[in-house]
Structure 1
Amino acid sequence: MTLWRIRATVDDRPGYLSVLTASLALSGVNILAVQVHTTERGAVDDFLVDAPDSLDEAGLVAAVERGRGRDCWVARSEARGLADQPTRVLGLAARLVRDPDATGEALRALLGADSVTWRPMPANAGPRFTPSGMLLADPGGGSYELRRAVPRFTPAEYARAQTLVELGATAARRAAERVNLVLPDGAEVQVRPATGEDLLGVVDLHERCSGRSRYRRYLGGSTTPAPARLRRLLEPARGVTLLATTTGSGEAVEPVVAMANLLAEGDVAEAALLVRDDWQRRGLGSNLLRRLVRHAERAGYAALVLHTQAENTPMLRTARRLERPAVVERDGSLVMLTVPLAVDVPTLGRAGS
């Protein structure tokens, strides 16, 4: 038996797919996997089949045509084709998370493209999609041009490819946002955007902080927030959360020594910090707050707001180190500082090909 890939178009009408599969079965073909791509010309059926060794390409095409299929494309497949499409896509996505520069290679593997080329021109400079070509917008700037003679590209493949490019750009941006920070006392930490996978590390951060530090961060109770609330802080709907971590500790979970949150509502973003007690008064909080300010400016927010207790001298000192004019309002024991921001134009690095 031999593995083949078959792609053919049939009328998108009830029963037509069963006619095609019955015709293949009469030729001794075992269908291992099938995908259906809806197009304006009809349903494009993509099969992975196991066919008798005596059945060649011409015989498979004839079986498809007897089953009312048209525009048939047939090619030998390999054992790796036995992995279903969702598994392959997830594998490519995992690869991009580890290596954002592999976007071009991932696109070639996903679609079997004859060529993948990154171009500096934006995707709106030409048609986004043709039967033999795609122009995919790169969120980092420019576009990817894909070519494949056969089989024809389908709208479903275009949507998958564009999603993969966007994932690669996100991974590249996150990698670029990782920085190694050397504090005035010589200690080194890595600062990076948080993800949902950091929940255990952030819970550990809270547990290693004193009740006083947690009280100052949350303007109230000193207990560790519930996991659901921490998840929302790690991946806010609008804004960003930065984590400072240490390396080389040998611990199973990367130790988180500080968390900086920027939570946006309207055109205003609120900043908050939590620094582990043994890492306070070392310049870490000031550095994280400056990074939140720059992020808020790039995102176009009009102002940054900080809420703190009047007795929280370290936080007030950290805010003053921004050396920016601020409006100070006091409500009993609480202080609100509003820092006007200059709107900046965001620039992102290009995802590699």
Structure 2
Amino acid sequence: MRTTLPDRPGALAVLAEHCGRAGVNILGLQIFPGVEAVTDELVLSTPDDWDAARTADLVGQAGGRSVVVQSCTEAALSDQPTRYVQAARSILASPMSFPDVVARLFDAEADPVDPAGPPQDVMEMTVGDVQVQVRRTAPFTATEHARGSAMADLVSDVLQRTRAESAIAMTPGRRMGGGTTPGHVVEGDSISAVVDGVVVGLATVQEPLEDEPWTRPVVLRVDPGWQRRGIGTRLLVDAARLAHTLGADEIVLTTRSDNQAVLPMVLAAGMRGRIRMAADVLTVRVAVRELRPLST
């Protein structure tokens, strides 16, 4: 349960007294200080016949405002500093898991919500030039915004260090494979990376989405033996420019949520994107309207 209480002595004691009289036990408490009010998050054990509305009414009688009540499991009682350390370790091990890990950390959702559902608050974080959003019904506090920003900075630092190490390992202009530099061939709505007459990478700009005519999906594939050599990044940039040439304002890439190459590829391309994770699907949207068109 989350509620906003007046920032005055005894406000939390009043809430605790109301809970005690009603047979509601307070099992956990987090406090998010503010300038004029304080947001409190409590883990409550209520009588079996209570529902969310009755719990919210109890808190409202104790002076709570903006009350949000949701059911939870025993996991809500885990130590908060420990949760943040574990989240940081997960992100360091797999930076692409950032949206999913942060969503779980803040009891939020990383995927877009039903517009017909209840209004939700949005917290936006920036990793490099990629925007990540998580949503939930309870408003995010200033403290949580600061924590989310710190997590995003952590991912940015890890990815930047990874890019720097890759740059050292592969200097610009270095020839790949058997001493051959891939050539890029534009044909219709596709761009191919070709080595010795063999296609090692392909990006295809598909037809506009039916409900978003300004958006074109892009399918991008690089031969496993030629990955991590900058081919995917070059294909992404060229595909984005080609999509602009074809009249698109935005491209969208869809892949598995465990694909570790997507976020570094978008960051290396120097393009601004918005990333979403829903279940096991990762979606990246990149604006292309400001890019230079690609000659076909």
Unaligned runs of 5+ in 1: 1-5, 118-130, 183-346
**Alpha-carbon distance in structure 1 between the residues aligned to 2:80 and 2:14:** 24
Deviation at 1:40, TM superposition (A): 4.4
What's the counterpart of residue 11 of structure 2?
Answer: 16
Matching residue within 26, 32, 40 for 1:45 = 40
Q: Is there any run of 5+ residues in structure 2 with no aligned partner, and where?
A: 113-119, 171-265, 277-296
Provide Cα deviations, 1:187-243, integer angstroms capped at 9, x if missing partner.
xxxxxxxxxxxxxxxxxxxxxxxxxxxxxxxxxxxxxxxxxxxxxxxxxxxxxxxxx
Q: 1:100·1:172 contact (CA, 8 Å) conserved in 2?
A: yes
* Mapping of residues 293-312 of structure 1, within 5 Å: none
Per-residue deviation at 1:102?
Answer: 0.9
1:110 Cα shift?
1.7
Q: Corresponding residue for 1:110?
A: 105
- Mapping for residues 83-232 of structure 1, pairs under 5 Å: 83-115=78-110, 132-138=121-127, 140-148=128-136, 150-178=137-165
- Deviations 1:157-211 (Å, cap 9, x if unpaired)? 11111111111122223334445969xxxxxxxxxxxxxxxxxxxxxxxxxxxxx
C-alpha contact (below 8 Å) 2:100/2:110 kept by paired residues = no
Flag the 1:75–1:64 CA change in 2: closer, same or farther, 3 A: same
TM-score normalized by the length of structure 2? 0.51
- 1:74 is the counterpart of 2:74: no
Aligned partner letter, 2:121: S
Tell me the percent identity: 27
1:95 CA displacement: 0.2
Q: Which residue matches 1:188?
A: none
Separation in structure 1 between the aligned mates of residue 23 and residue 101 of structure 2, nearest angstrom: 34
**How much is the aligned-residue C-alpha RMSD, in angstroms?**
2.9
Q: Which amino acid in 2 is paired with 1:137?
A: T
Task: Tell me, yes or no, if structure 1 residue 31 matches structure 2 residue 23.
Answer: no
Q: What SS does structure 2 have at the residue aligned with 1:76?
A: coil
TM-score, normalised with respect to structure 1: 0.43
The answer to whether the 8 A contact 2:24-2:44 is kept is yes
Hey, what's the Cα distance between the residues in 2 that align with 1:43 and 1:160?
17
Mapped to 1, the partners of 2:135 and 2:93 lie a distance apart of 26
Q: What's the offset of the Cα at 1:69? A: 1.1
User: Could you tell me how far 1:56 is from its partner in structure 2?
Assistant: 2.0
The runs of 4+ residues in structure 1 deviating greater than 6 Å are 350-353
The secondary structure found in structure 2 opposite 1:175 is: helix
Aligned pair count? Answer: 170
Check the 8 A contact 1:93/1:164 in 2, yes or no: yes
CA distance in 2, matches of 1:115, 1:100: 15
Q: 2:3 touches 2:39 (CA, 8 Å); kept in 1?
A: yes
Q: Distance in 2 between matches of 1:181 and 1:173?
A: 14
Q: Deviations over 1:242-263 (max 9, x none)?
A: xxxxxxxxxxxxxxxxxxxxxx
Counterpart secondary structure, 1:115:
coil
CA distance in structure 2 between the partners assigned to 1:56 and 1:105 by the alignment: 29
Q: CA deviation at 1:98?
A: 0.7
CA contact 2:52–2:69 (8 Å) conserved in 1: yes
Q: Which residue of 2 aligns with 1:59?
A: 54
Instruction: Specify the SS of the correspondent of 1:172.
Output: helix
